Amino acid sequence: MGDVLKEIFKPTNCRKCKERYVYKAFGEYECPKCGYIELDEYGKIRKYLEENGPQPAINISTATKIPVSAIDQYLREGRLEIPEDSEIFIKCELCETAIRYGRYCPSCAANLSKKFLSVLMPSEVGEVPKKMKGKMRFLENDKSAKISTRK
């Protein structure tokens, strides 16, 4: 389930008094008027895991009525993680190495980082200024075309 759909299904108004919820944290929303607490998908998963300890995705899905695909999405986003001692892990999207959360293993992430930098145009990678004084100029060799900056 994409991020757009998650935004659509987040609770907005209190079921009891219809007041607009205030987001507290970790998928929990509270009504400022009556104090009623509502959980979004992530909040329901978090509460279930806090009460039951680490569980397979299918158990979480059955208990919370949240699709396994949504649980997998939270793992891919790094909002949930699989315990070290688990027998089942998700796979790196590139090399299929077992990982506990995220989309890529550390090795593939490092390679992607290097490749990403190599596909950027030199003009897209800025230089960190050594001094904050001076004038703006064109990058072309035309040194005569200078524009002064405001201070």
Q: Is 74 exposed, middle or buried (0-12, 13-18, 19+ CB in 10 A)?
A: buried
Q: Is 94 helix (H, G, I), strand (E, B) or coil?
A: coil
In angstroms, the CA 49 to CA 44 distance is 9
Would 43 be classed as within a structural domain? no
Would 102 be classed as within a structural domain? yes
Listed residue (29, 59, 58, 55) closest to 42, CA to CA = 29
In angstroms, the CA 17 to CA 22 distance is 14
User: In terms of pLDDT, which residue wins out, 34 or 147?
Assistant: 34
Q: Is the per-residue pLDDT at 43 higher than 70?
A: yes
pLDDT band per the 50, 70, 90 thresholds, residue 145: very low
Contacts 24+ apart (CB under 8 A), 33-37: none
Q: Is 43 exposed, middle or buried (0-12, 13-18, 19+ CB in 10 A)?
A: buried
Would 150 be classed as within a structural domain? no
Domain that holds residue 109: 88-121
pLDDT in tens, 111-125: 888 887 777 666 666
Would 78 be classed as within a structural domain? no
pLDDT in tens, 75-94: 999 999 999 888 889 999 99
Would 57 be classed as within a structural domain? no
pLDDT band per the 50, 70, 90 thresholds, residue 36: very high
Would 106 be classed as within a structural domain? yes
The whole-model pTM stands at 0.67
Q: Is the per-residue pLDDT at 128 higher than 80?
A: no
Distances (CA, A) of 98 to 21, 56, 85: 39, 16, 12
Q: How many domains does the structure of the chain reveal?
A: 1
Q: Hunting for tokens 């077992």 — which residue is that?
A: 98
Would 110 be classed as within a structural domain? yes
Would 103 be classed as within a structural domain? yes
